[in-house]
Amino acid sequence: MSKSYSVAILGATGAVGTELLELLESRNFPVSNLKLLASQRSVGRTLSFKGENLPIEAVSDRAFEGVDIVLASAGGSTSKTWAATAVEKGAVVIDNSSAFRMKKEVPLIVPEVNPQAAANHQGIIANPNCTTILMTVALWPLHQVKPVQRIVAATYQSASGAGAKAMAEVKTQASAILQGQTPVAEVLPYPLAFNLFPHNSPLNDEGYCEEEMKMVNETRKIFGTEQIRITATCVRVPVLRAHSEALNIEFETPFSPDEAREILSRSPGVKLVEDWRANYFPMPIEATGQDEVLVGRIRQDISHPCGLELWLCGDQIRKGAALNAVQIAELLVEKNLLRPAIAYAPSKKI
């Protein structure tokens, strides 16, 4: 990566935005110029990058001029407003929102799983949902050996999934409870400290919430098959950062836990964490700040001869969002894929 690139972070002041900034520096991404974009209310602030204090700029048409890569983490409505403009100006947008994930012409990429999909982008690449990223990193290596037939997922999602304000709210609520006061919920619908509740995203007619359906639909798109049967129950838990998932996986034929363990121990993006004697397995407190998805407690499903159970934890802000986006940018640079394979048409609905 000898060439350097002009990069913009859209939503630079949020939890994912600040993580993107740190990762660009720590991974030595070849940045020639860095723009930090946010709403007007953040103008005047600065953030540090490689020892320099960079100003926050208000997002505008002109802000994308000369930019090669936009790392967007400002929410779906913002992405829908500005992504097309950025592409028209010549940038490739790597978007962390759900705005474009299920668009047929927009690749949905986890670099450890389907990097080849990046070659077909038209200027926008979608970053999957955090729970989907963590799950697919762990399951793809197994799926390559014996195809997955069915997944039953239960997620335990930290406050970080709702942003920095939700993380701060949990701390405030915990302090209030410990002082005998009534906790106040403003960011999340209910108090999360010392509590948990099913994910509060909108429900469909079948009773599945939006977050659960993201896992279903996004996993099928990333794996390139509609045949995998997937069901999920997503729960918000009183953990500050890093999500956990309990997965029951059914394969075509029996899959021994030892074979799965051996495969995952050498799989990219995965760290095997198991000490059966100590009953020690992945924990969100240890996944926090880590690039890898921690996987363990791999065992035979005693109810099905072709089933395996496993437990995983992964940093929602890092691999579940910012790191995956930066890895996509690295992939584009490495494979010389910054220019779309198909010319972008402004009139085309995306």
For the segment 155-199, what is each residue's pLDDT rounded down to a tens digit?
999 999 998 899 999 999 999 999 999 999 999 999 999 999 999
Q: Which of 85, 134, 87, 88 is nearest to 113 (CA)?
A: 134
Residue 52 marked ligand-binding: no
Q: How confident is the model at residue 347 (pLDDT cuts 50, 70, 90)?
A: very low
Alpha helices of the chain — where are they, by DSSP H? 15-26, 76-88, 130-145, 164-178, 210-223, 257-265, 284-287, 323-334
pLDDT of 342: 54
CATH topology of domain 131-316: Dihydrodipicolinate Reductase; domain 2 (3.30.360)
Residue 269 marked ligand-binding: no
Residue 157 marked ligand-binding: yes
Residue 13 marked ligand-binding: yes
| Sequence-ordered strand ranges (E) for the chain | 5-10, 31-38, 46-49, 52-58, 69-72, 92-95, 124-126, 148-157, 197-198, 229-236, 243-251, 270-272, 293-300, 307-314
pLDDT of 341: 52
Q: Rounded mean pLDDT of 71-77?
A: 91
Q: Rounded mean pLDDT of 283-303?
A: 98
Residue 248's CB is within 10 A of a number of other CB atoms, namely 17
Residue 236 marked ligand-binding: yes
Q: Is a pLDDT exceeding 80 seen at residue 1?
A: no
pLDDT of 44: 87
Q: What is the pLDDT of residues 271-291, one digit of tens each?
A: 999 999 999 999 999 999 999
For the chain, give every domain's residue range: 5-99+321-334, 131-316
pLDDT of 2: 66
Residue 42 marked ligand-binding: yes
Q: Rounded mean pLDDT of 200-214?
A: 97
Q: What is the pLDDT of residues 2-15, one digit of tens each?
A: 699 999 999 999 99
Q: How confident is the model at residue 346 (pLDDT cuts 50, 70, 90)?
A: very low
Domain 5-99+321-334 indexed as CATH 3.40.50.720 = yes
Q: Rounded mean pLDDT of 212-225?
A: 98
Question: Which residues are marked as active site?
Answer: 130, 243
Residue 261 marked ligand-binding: no
Q: How confident is the model at residue 75 (pLDDT cuts 50, 70, 90)?
A: confident
Share of residues in the chain with pLDDT > 70 (%): 96
